[in-house]
Chain A
Amino acid sequence: MRLVLRGHQPRWLTPVAVLVAVLATVALTAIPIRLAGANPPAAFERYLVTPLSSTAGLYEVMLTATPLLFTGIAVAIAFRVGYWNIGAEGQFLAGAVATTAVALAMPDLSAPLALPLGFLAGAAGGLAWAVLPAWLKKRADIDEVVTTLLLNPVALLVVQGLLNGPWRNTSSGFTDSDRFGAGYDLPALVPGTRVHWGFGLAVIVIIVAGVVLSKTAVGVQIRAAGQAPRAAAFSGIPVHQLRWRCALVSGAIAGLGGSSQVMGVQHQLTQGISNNYGYTGVIVATLGLLSAVGVFLVAVLLGDISVGAQNVSLVLQVPTQLGAIFSALLMLMVLAAMSLRRYRVQWPARHRRTPAPSGVGGS
């Protein structure tokens, strides 16, 4: 038995590959669930089905998906243009810090002023955090992967430094900031639930990004710059300038995610404000095939699993990290299955010496 390249890929192959990947992920994650002493089928029902089976659960999923919508689309925009921004984590934190700075400086603003100002600050903060790597890339061709990655722990240290120092909670003395003024509370999207307008903003951002990426000339240029930079540059597309702009937009959107989280959920800056949202954004963007619709669907799926993971850890005592294991594994499995689509199994007894079809270069 050996694998040979396919001549052509039938249509049914993609859904089958995704299904196989999902089944493989479920089978592999059943091992840690089993080790934790829980029954895998019952646990999976709680991970995937329970959160979506009630309206209260559905709202929780929307709430949990909100930061992932921001970071997912932020990463997708950067990856599309071929700029490997792995710093959404730091940009998210920078956005949260900038919003907090505004909220603590002007605590008494009323909502119509406070909310736009808070978001504006968040976008500016995320953008500021993205400037240095993007500039180094543009000016000196320094690998953005390294610089964006290195700024993530720095952003976390900035948050910790501010919370240990000037922003320490004045009433409790804990390392959380003071609670923001009431004007900075994002109103509920659905009255009576915790789902806030951050979700609405995220959806608007995703729709705009989706339209720009797929329906406009700029979108075509971005795609060309990402997939074939040399050919794009040759045909007159300003590749470096596009990368620079997309890098900044990406940072600003990740920063908006930070604002949405501090103004919509915590109402104060906390050390754990980003629960790995930036890194998970890379998974969301990749699994979502860097498309707006894909990012939306995957963010909701991971939100679902994350809500489920909270539930399972309370009821079945399986640590919440299983949600992170599941999402990372799912991404690797889907990518692997997609890659295997190109091959078919050949049994040596029947066809000997079939000439290997040529073509298909590496990715």
Chain B
Amino acid sequence: MSINLLALIGAMLTIATPLVWAGIGELIVEKTGILNLGIEGTMYLGAFIGFLVALRSGSPWLGLIAAIVSGVAAGLLMGLFTVTLGLNQHVSGLGLTLLLIAACEFTFRLLYAGERPTLSGKFETLMPGVSVLNQHWLTYVGFLVLAPVAWWVLRSTGMGYRLHAVGENFEAADVAGISVTATRYVALMVGGALMAIGGAFLTLSVLGSFTLDIINGRGWVCIALVIFAKWRVWPAVFGALVFAVTDALQLQLAITTAFTSIPRELMLALPYLAVITALAIWGRKVRYPGSYLQAYRRG
């Protein structure tokens, strides 16, 4: 049995990319005390809208921009439910996910019933022929720009301070002159955009096509990663890599003769089980943000 280590690392980075984008998006939102279970639907929406616009216009760039806009809209909608109306966050988020997925499937069926359209021009990898480094630009940006910037913004800037203040104690934040509503809306819109980019990466960079099970629980994985990381950026990136290496390993093992007797589905389930195990080990007695799951009402 031999495992191609370089190919494994390369696959790991690609698989981790959507989790890094969407996971950091969820982290930013949760920093303000909002659990966005709409993540699965927002990633789905980003994947679908990105694909649709890229297909129609022929440009993956336009697709990506459209995906970002759709993600911001999904964030706004989540804000309307949980911030403005103060509805239960679990139920609103899950409802949003169900609504967005159903709406995308509806549109896909309506436009392409029985067809399997593929993009004529998708994003190509940057360094063909060089293993490991031959990645999509969204992968490079995700690891080398987004993660450090998110870490720096959350740690050292006024914006990061405001997110943290609202998440920990919104009454105190309000008294200190920070608008709870505005902060949460901004976080939801930025987070929604990042989630949508994570979804669009799958259609615009990796596959070049759209399938109905495209996200397949990746959003739920991101939620687990954020808790596992205790709302810190680098541990979340590390968690994404752990998930991805399990997934990449199952891809490698599936083509290794020694492991053909093990059902492929068991291997596919491994990353989910790995995340649950990681949560069980490092996610104990986690201290949640002080205003987690709560709507803010003045007075």
CB-nearest residue of chain B to A143: B227
Chain B contacts for A361, CB-based, 8 A: 297
Chain A, range 270-309, C-beta contacts under 8 Å to B: 276, 279-280, 282-283, 286
Distance, CA A84 to CA B293, complexed state (A)? 12
Distance, CA A136 to CA B101, complexed state (A)? 30
Which of A146, A147, A276, A319: most chain B Cβ within 10 A? A146
Distance, CA A154 to CA B286, complexed state (A)? 25
Which of A32, A160, A161, A280: most chain B Cβ within 10 A? A161
Which of B87, B91, B105: most chain A Cβ within 10 A? B91
Which of B110, B220, B223, B269 has a CB less than 8 Å from the CB of A157? B269
Q: Are A282 and B94 in contact (CB under 8 A)?
A: yes
Q: Hey, what's the 0/1 contact readout for A126-146 against B, CB within 8 Å counting as 1? A: 000000100010001111011
Q: Does A150 contact B (CB under 8 A)?
A: yes
Chain A contacts for B96, CB-based, 8 A: 328, 332
CB-nearest residue of chain A to B283: A142
Chain B contacts for A362, CB-based, 8 A: 86, 294-297
Q: Are B95 and A142 in contact (CB under 8 A)?
A: no
CB-CB under 8 A for A321 and B223, given A161-B266, A332-B95: no
Chain B contacts for A325, CB-based, 8 A: 99, 102-103, 106
Distance, CA A142 to CA B280, complexed state (A)? 7
Q: Does A331 contact B (CB under 8 A)?
A: yes
Chain B, range 180-231, C-beta contacts under 8 Å to A: 216-217, 220-221, 223-224, 227
CB-CB under 8 A for A142 and B105, given A150-B276, A335-B92: no
The 14 sampled A-B contact pairs (Cβ below 8 Å) are: A32-B106, A86-B37, A141-B285, A150-B217, A165-B263, A282-B91, A321-B102, A322-B102, A325-B99, A325-B103, A331-B91, A335-B87, A336-B80, A359-B299
Distance, CA A328 to CA B95, complexed state (A)? 5
Chain B contacts for A164, CB-based, 8 A: 263-265
CB-CB under 8 A for A328 and B99, given A149-B220, A153-B272: yes
Q: Are B94 and A146 in contact (CB under 8 A)?
A: no
Q: Are B279 and A332 in contact (CB under 8 A)?
A: no
CB-CB under 8 A for A332 and B81, given A142-B279, A363-B86: yes
Q: Are B297 and A86 in contact (CB under 8 A)?
A: no
Distance, CA A283 to CA B294, complexed state (A)? 21
Q: Which 6 A-B pairs have the closest CB atoms?
A: A161-B265, A324-B102, A362-B295, A328-B99, A153-B217, A319-B109
Chain A contacts for B101, CB-based, 8 A: 324
Residues of B within 8 A of A (CB): 35, 37, 80-81, 85-88, 90-92, 94-96, 98-99, 101-103, 105-107, 109-110, 113, 216-217, 220-221, 223-224, 227, 263-266, 268-269, 272-273, 275-276, 279-280, 283-286, 294-297, 299
CB-nearest residue of chain B to A337: B85
Chain A contacts for B87, CB-based, 8 A: 335-336, 339, 363
Residues of A within 8 A of B (CB): 32, 35-36, 84, 86, 132, 136, 140-143, 145-147, 149-154, 157-158, 160-161, 164-165, 276, 279-280, 282-283, 286, 319, 321-322, 324-325, 327-329, 331-332, 335-336, 339-340, 356, 358-363
Which of B35, B92, B106 has a CB less than 8 Å from the CB of A321? B106
Chain A contacts for B266, CB-based, 8 A: 157, 161
Q: Are A363 and B88 in contact (CB under 8 A)?
A: yes
Chain B contacts for A86, CB-based, 8 A: 37, 90, 94
B206 to chain A, nearest CB (A): 19
Q: Are A132 and B297 in contact (CB under 8 A)?
A: no
Which of B94, B266, B284, B297: most chain A Cβ within 10 A? B94
Chain B contacts for A153, CB-based, 8 A: 216-217, 220, 269, 272
Distance, CA A140 to CA B296, complexed state (A)? 29
Which of B95, B99, B110, B224 has a CB less than 8 Å from the CB of A36? B110
Distance, CA A359 to CA B266, complexed state (A)? 53
Q: Are B35 and A160 in contact (CB under 8 A)?
A: no
Q: Known pairs A35-B110, A157-B266, A356-B299. 14 more at Cβ < 8 A?
A: A136-B276, A146-B220, A147-B224, A147-B276, A150-B272, A154-B272, A154-B273, A165-B263, A276-B98, A325-B102, A328-B99, A340-B85, A362-B294, A362-B296
Chain B contacts for A322, CB-based, 8 A: 102, 106
